Amino acid sequence: MTGYETVVGLEVHCELATATKLFCGCRNAFGDEPNTNVCPVCLGLPGSLPVVNRRAVELALRIGAALNCKAQRSIFHRKNYFYPDMPKDYQISQYDEPINVDGWLELPDGSRVGVERAHMEEDTGKTTHVGGGGRIHEAGYSLVDYNRAGVPLVEIVSRPDIRSAAQARAYVDELRSILVATGASDGRMEEGSLRVDANVSVRPAGATEYGTRCEVKNLNSLRSLERAIDYEVARQIELLEAGERVSQETRHWDEGDSSTHSMRSKEEANDYRYFPEPDLTPLVPDVALLTAAAEGVGAMPAERRHRLSNLLAAGSELATRRDGSTDQVVTVVDLGLDELVHGAVAAGADPRLALARAANEAAANPDAAKLLDPMAFAALLKMESSGQLSATQSKEVLAELMSKGGDPGQIARRLGYEQMDNASLGSMVDEVIAANPQEWRRYREGDDKVAQFLLGQVMKSSKGRANGKLVAEAFAFRRDA
Amino acid sequence: MTASPAPELGSLAGIAASVRAGERSARAVLAVSLDRVRELEGDLHCFNEVTVEAAEADADAVDRMVRAGLDPGPLAGVPVALKDNLCTVGIPTTCSSKILAGWLPPYDATVVSRLRDAGAVAIGKTNLDEFAMGSSTENSAFGPTRNPWDLGRVPGGSSGGSAAAVAAGMVPLAFGSDTGGSIRQPAALCGIVGVKPTYGVVSRYGLIAFASSLDQIGPFATTVADAALGLEVIAGHDPMDSTSLDRPAPSLLATLDEGVSGLRVGIVADFLSAGSECGDAVVAAAEALAAAGAKVDQVRIPELLLGLPAYYVIAPAEASSNLSRYDGVRYGLRVDGPDAETMNARTRGEGFGAEVKRRIMMGTYALSAGYYDAYYGQAQKARTLVIRAFEAAYRDFDVLLTPTTPSVAFPFGSKVDDPIEMYMCDLCSIPSSLAGHPAASVPFALSPEGLPIGVQVLAPALGEAVMMRVAASLEAAAPREARGPVTP
């Protein structure tokens, strides 16, 4: 609705891909038999104590660096509240002294979203309420699985810089790419490795004060995120238009009826009684930690998009392109095929062609494409550019190259894609002219539409082996002769 | 009634030496200990559980090692008692609380493993004020422990069971935990030695938390040398406790007899209330140290008086969080209800005693939004002031002396209705706890009514060796009848 501006801030919880949990040596794994990856520490048994997993700290710092955050000395706090899936009835989390602060993230469209903080905390267990519609208050009984309790999380809190549901989606998508690129997370929303809560508010266009926000939970996919924000924005505008007020509360997105429902109001909110966790000592990001965190981390997606984009036309900004290469660049970086493209171009392939084949054909099977030898890929692209192979043939060879490997030249020969010699191409062109005298006359009179028809006839009789460019040249030669 | 001297079990070193040499079996030593327990436990109630079978099995294991030519360790065959807030595999660990009655830990506290590795034989779990909150063991859900010096009086607390067991000669060594004085105060009231080490010297892994930033495990023994050996065995870095100091266990016995000549000893004047028998003992102790060559002077450290109020905000605040986990979901008591919240509330309502509830409520309040700065924040500032005041004092002194307690053992029921009066028992012991410094209580005198009086030796962080030297000198100067073991 016009007249209002949408303001969204996102809190993204990301499970770290460590071998073990944050404060004990139990396996950090999804989908195991319930309550098998547990010990006195993650069950919160009396007398047990937490010890920080150094690898988790490294990955948290790595995420912070990828989000352009400042790493700082941090401490853990206890967040106290009673819930059956919390073994200790408090969560060890970072509060006012988090490990990463003040960063930003660049979206493919060039916009930037501020990152207020990216802090560490432990995950809770998983409760299944049986009966009563799956809510704790109506349930007949509840089952708790503590395998997830103590799994390391990093919570990434954005600034309220997001202005639409689509931008929110792009932010999470980009963040996910970054988390995967850092190796810190597998980024799987469906397995709960990535969980998103949205703080949504609206305000009259041009206002400088923020409106009252609602926190929307239970956003299990990018699609729910986008739909829930759209719904929530509409709901809030409707309230304001009716002269009512938005009340600050936590709301639950219900995929079933496509709407949000109030969970608890500000007044009902828990007093978490945060205080510094006395069982842990401060984390100081010393040189050893920062070095370990940086080890083996490649460039982040935004930087990789810039690099790829620069291949096409030095200096031109991705966001300002109008030629469709934007999507190809995003796709290629997303799928991790940019190194393949860079490699092929370095070996002499045409950048635009390399990008197109990577974004379209190679992208159909990204796992296999990642294993492609850039030299072989380049050799294939050069065969296509030189007219030795038609586009159709080139795609066929690429498919086989990805599924079976080998040398593109040999594959082309085996498939019968030998370059058609000029003599046989010429006789094929002559046959088509003889068989279609009217079309040939119209072509000679300058009818461009019929050129496509004639070309198609040659392609047909050559069973796709003819190089379209050479065929076109052959017709033009005969016309101009 | 008055107590009479008890038969000596012999020093720990003596027991261990005879067991290692095969002159006495660990089983025979254990039998003496268990006989004494059978004789007196009915009167004293030191134990929540005496684990005869497990102890016999452990003693047999020690004897087998000796027969095989292996060394069971420096505490070979020494019977020990463990405060019932130290986790022991398969042996009920209750914190003297209904909420944990019957709970069987699946793991041993680090201290328990280290004792076993040193050849010690644990004979049972001793009584305490529920979750170590109290100064008399009257807060135990399973009934109080009595003081072997006078069965009508409390043994102190919260480690009253461990103190009384050593004071009655049931075991020569016992372990407790000290959060604000829970080792030193009962040691003083029972006429034995009790040591709270520097925070981080002994692993807390497996010690059921009361207040995590203050809790520390330490030994009870009848002599300074035995307490020193007990501490040496349990001390040292533990990777399972992040607050454990990454340094080797202190060497205490080696320097124990070096005397106090040239040491600077400060009497903390702020804790010497005029005419009190406990204050008089400190003055006498200082004179004894001066006679042994120490330089003695009085020092005023008024900031230490901030300790008590700060402690009674910080400790309950941490406790309110530490004790949240007793919610009826996973272990211990569960009182059912129509929903999780009600089950939770009923379980805690029935499972916790009055003092524990009081502290949970005080701590919850102190951490609440809007009150945090005024209470918890302010208490942390006071804690910092205490630490700075100590730092200043230790520029002029190597150790400080205070009474361990404001008074001798008091009769049952005399303070239970007045929490503040009960909290005052910890006045002198709390400052070192807040600072994380070591402190020891040494029996030094008898009151006119024949009750033991302890003197407290304070030292800066990691000053255990000097502290124990001073304690040994005090012990040498103290009358023999001022310390246990005694027979009620």
Q: Report the distance separating Cα A114 and Cα A105, nearest Å.
A: 6
| B277 lies in some domain | no
Digit-coded pLDDT (tens) for B288-307: 999 999 999 999 999 999 99
Q: Report the distance separating Cα B214 and Cα B278, nearest Å.
A: 25
- Residue from B321, B322, B371, B376 to probe the interface with A (highest A Cβ count within 10 Å): B321
Q: B369 to chain A: which residues are within 8 Å by CB?
A: 271, 273
Same domain, residue pair B405 and B374: no
Q: A38 to chain B: which residues are within 8 Å by CB?
A: none
Q: Which of A190, A115, A196, A216 is nearest to A159 (CA)?
A: A115
| Nearest chain B CA: its distance from A374 CA (Å) | 48
Same domain, residue pair B124 and B68: yes
Q: Report the distance separating Cα B364 and Cα B206, nearest Å.
A: 24
Using a CB–CB cut-off of 8 Å, the residues of A that contact B are: 40, 43-52, 78, 80, 82, 84, 87-90, 136-137, 142, 144, 271, 273-275, 278-281
Q: Which of B29, B36, B88, B112 is nearest to B63 (CA)?
A: B29
| B190 lies in some domain | yes
Same domain, residue pair B239 and B331: no
Amino acid code (one letter) for B433: S
Q: A51 to chain B: which residues are within 8 Å by CB?
A: 239-242
Q: Report the distance separating Cα A46 and Cα A61, nearest Å.
A: 31
First to last CA, chain A: 64
| B274 lies in some domain | no
Query: Mean pLDDT of successive 10-residue segments in chain B (488 residues)?
Result: 72 96 96 97 98 98 98 98 98 98 96 98 98 97 98 98 98 98 98 98 98 98 98 98 94 96 97 84 97 97 96 98 97 92 96 98 95 96 98 98 96 91 91 98 97 98 98 97 94
| Nearest residue, CB atoms, A49 vs list B86, B204, B330 | B204
- What Å distances lie between residue A313 and A305, A308, A310, A316, B276, CA to CA? 13, 9, 5, 6, 91
| B186 lies in some domain | yes
| B353 lies in some domain | yes
Q: For residue A245, what pLDDT is reported?
A: 95
Q: For residue B238, what pLDDT is reported?
A: 98
Q: Report the distance separating Cα A271 and Cα A161, nearest Å.
A: 27
Q: How many structural domains comprise chain B?
A: 2
Do A400 and A406 touch, CB atoms closer than 8 A? yes
| Nearest residue, CB atoms, A47 vs list B207, B339, B372 | B207
| Nearest chain B CA: its distance from A251 CA (Å) | 21
Q: For residue A412, what pLDDT is reported?
A: 87
| B273 lies in some domain | no
Same domain, residue pair B419 and B371: no
Q: For residue A470, what pLDDT is reported?
A: 81
What integer best gives the mean pLDDT of chain A?
Answer: 90
- What is the 3 state secondary structure string of chain A? CCCEEEEEEEEEEEECCCCECCCCCCECCCCCCCCCCCCCCCCCCCCCCCCCCHHHHHHHHHHHHHCCCEECCECCEEEECCCCCCCCCEEEECCCCCCEEEEEEECCCCCEEEEEEEEEEECCCEEEEECHHHCCCCCCEEEEEHHHCCCEEEEEEECCCECCHHHHHHHHHHHHHHHHHHCCCCCCCCCCCEEEEEEEEEEECCCCCCCCCEEEEEECCHHHHHHHHHHHHHHHHHHHHCCCCCCCEEEEEECCCCEEEEEEECCCCCCCCCEECCCCCCECCCHHHHHHHHCCCCCCHHHHHHHHHHHHCCCCCHHHCCCCHHHHHHHHHHCCCHHHHHHHHHCCCCHHHHHHHHHCCHHHCHHHHHCCCHHHHHHHHHHHHCCCCCHHHHHHHHHHHHHHCCCHHHHHHHCCCCCCCHHHHHHHHHHHHHHCHHHHHHHHCCCHHHHHHHHHHHHHHCCCCCCHHHHHHHHHHHHHC
A46, B95: Cβ pair inside 8 Å?
Answer: yes
Other CB atoms within 10 Å distance of the CB of residue B235: 28
Same domain, residue pair B237 and B340: no
A87, B330: Cβ pair inside 8 Å?
Answer: yes
Instruction: Please report how the helices A468-480 and A422-435 are oriented relative to each other, as an axis angle in degrees rounded to 10.
Output: 60
Same domain, residue pair B330 and B466: no
Amino acid code (one letter) for A277: E
In the sheet that holds B47-50, the strands lie side by side as B47-50, B121-126, B79-83, B173-178, B216-221, B193-196, B439-446, B452-458, B399-403, B264-268, B295-299
| Nearest residue, CB atoms, A281 vs list B242, B327, B368 | B242
Contacts of B38 (CB under 8 A, 6+ apart): none
A47, B206: Cβ pair inside 8 Å?
Answer: yes
| Nearest chain A CA: its distance from B425 CA (Å) | 25
| Nearest chain B CA: its distance from A249 CA (Å) | 18
Beta bridge partners of A35: none
Same domain, residue pair B13 and B136: yes
Contacts of A242 (CB under 8 A, 6+ apart): none
| B276 lies in some domain | no
Q: Report the distance separating Cα B280 and Cα B373, nearest Å.
A: 40
The region that residue B413 occupies, defined by phi over 0 for left and psi between -120 and 50 for alpha, beta otherwise, is left
Same domain, residue pair B120 and B214: yes
Q: B204 to chain A: which residues are within 8 Å by CB?
A: 49
| Nearest chain A CA: its distance from B144 CA (Å) | 23
B205, A49: Cβ pair inside 8 Å?
Answer: yes
Other CB atoms within 10 Å distance of the CB of residue A223: 11
| Nearest residue, CB atoms, B321 vs list A43, A80, A136 | A80
Same domain, residue pair B57 and B204: yes
Range of the domain at B358: 319-380
Same domain, residue pair B408 and B348: no
Q: Report the distance separating Cα B431 and Cα B427, nearest Å.
A: 8
Other CB atoms within 10 Å distance of the CB of residue B336: 9
A45, B107: Cβ pair inside 8 Å?
Answer: yes
Identify the structural domains of chain A with CATH numbers, from first to last. Answer: 4-294 (no CATH), 301-314+323-414 (no CATH), 422-480 (1.10.10.410)
ipTM of this predicted complex? 0.96
Residue numbers of B annotated as active site: 83, 158, 182
Tokens of B151: 């069965």
B330, A89: Cβ pair inside 8 Å?
Answer: no
- Residue from A52, A92, A275 to probe the interface with B (highest B Cβ count within 10 Å): A275
Same domain, residue pair B352 and B422: no
- What is the 3 state secondary structure string of chain B? CCCEECCCCCCHHHHHHHHHCCCCCHHHHHHHHHHHHHHHHHHHCCEEEECHHHHHHHHHHHHHHHHCCCCCCCCCCCEEEEECCECECCECCCCCCHHHCCCCCCCCCHHHHHHHHCCCEEEEEECCCHHHCCCCCCCCCCCCCCECCECCECCCCCCHHHHHHHHCCCCCEEEEEECCCCCHHHHHHCCCEEEECCCCCECCCCECCCCCCCCEEEEEECCHHHHHHHHHHHECCCCCCCCCCCCCCCCCHHHCCCCCCCCEEEEEHHHCCCCCHHHHHHHHHHHHHHHCCCEEEEECCHHHHHHHHHHHHHHHHHHHHHHHHCCCCCCCCCCCCCCHHHHHHHHHHHHCCHHHHHHHHHHHHHHCCCCCHHHHHHHHHHHHHHHHHHHHHHHHCCEEEEECCCCCCCECCCCCCCHHHHHHHHCCCHHHHHHCCCEEEEEEEECCCCCEEEEEEECCCCCHHHHHHHHHHHHHHCCHHHCCCEEC
| Nearest residue, CB atoms, B208 vs list A47, A51, A84 | A47
Q: B338 to chain A: which residues are within 8 Å by CB?
A: none
| Nearest chain A CA: its distance from B325 CA (Å) | 5
B209, A40: Cβ pair inside 8 Å?
Answer: no
Q: pLDDT below 50 — which residues of chain A?
A: 314-322
Do B323 and B356 touch, CB atoms closer than 8 A? yes
Same domain, residue pair B181 and B326: no
